[in-house]
Structure 1
Amino acid sequence: MDIVLWILQILLAVAFVVSGLGKFADLGARFREQQAYREDFSPPQLRAIGALEVLGGAGVVLPWATGIAPILTPLAAAGLGLLMIGAALVHRRRKEGIAVNLVLLAMAAIVVAGRI
């Protein structure tokens, strides 16, 4: 089970760090079309969401890997789960797909349950 949790933690970290960093950059017209939800948020709000994603991505791996305050790993995973609930609500309101949000939410929930 430990190997499964590590795989999930690493996948969550990569997904959220990449997604979070993407919210700090103007990715061009093609990406704006794919990320139409960005119109619902101001630039400071997008940067705040991006910062939470990057910090959560780091927090889901680093504390457990270093042994320094490992309780932060399930807390970070819970925070990422809350972000995914919020993201799913935004996408649902916009009548967009929420499958990715639900998968990431499930992965975060498994990490929370496995690391407490």
Structure 2
Amino acid sequence: MNLALWIAAGLLAAVALTGGISKTFVLREKLAAAHGGGWTGAVGDGFVKTLGVLELLAAAGLVLPAAIGIAPVLVPVTAAAWTLLMIGAMITHGRRGERAFVGLNLVYLVIALAVAVGRFGPGAF
């Protein structure tokens, strides 16, 4: 179970890192032109950058606390917060009719929920 939780957390961290880097460092206009990024055209730069920074923090929070042994309880807390972020992403993509992205966000939500429950419960550090 421990290995499965590490893999799930690592996968989510990779997703968060990828999204965080793009939202933080790529121009909003370029993101808006990309497939699935149209929602960024309807919000401000600050909102997109803030989401990007939150995703970068999530990437770190899903792996680093347990890896370095400092406050490992932050891993399931971060996973729980990621579920909330995915609910927001599902709502945003759902309103835009982007069903494929709603499904993808649902997959990420389920994985994050598994990490949160696993690390708070039987797979706690």
The number of residue pairs the alignment matches comes to 116
Which amino acid is the alignment partner of residue 53 of structure 1? E
Q: 5 Å matches for 1:4-43?
A: 4-24=4-24, 25-26=26-27, 29=30, 32-34=33-35, 35-43=37-45
Q: Name the counterpart of 1:56.
A: 58
CA distance in 2, matches of 1:90, 1:69: 32
CA distance in 1, matches of 2:84, 2:7: 20
CA distance in 2, matches of 1:86, 1:78: 13
Structure-2 change in CA distance of 1:62 and 1:45 (3 Å)? same
Q: Stretches of 4+ moved more than 4 A in 1?
A: 27-31
Shift of 1:40: 2.2
Task: Kindly report the root-mean-square deviation, in angstroms, between the aligned alpha carbons of the 2 structures.
Answer: 1.6
Q: Name the counterpart of 1:105.
A: 109
User: Which of 64, 71, 74 matches 1:72?
Assistant: 74
List runs of 5+ in structure 1 lacking aligned partners.
none
CA distance in 2, matches of 1:106, 1:30: 26
For residues 4-29 of structure 1, the C-alpha deviation after alignment (integer angstroms, 9 at most, x for no partner) is 00100100000001111101212875
Which amino acid is the alignment partner of residue 80 of structure 1? W
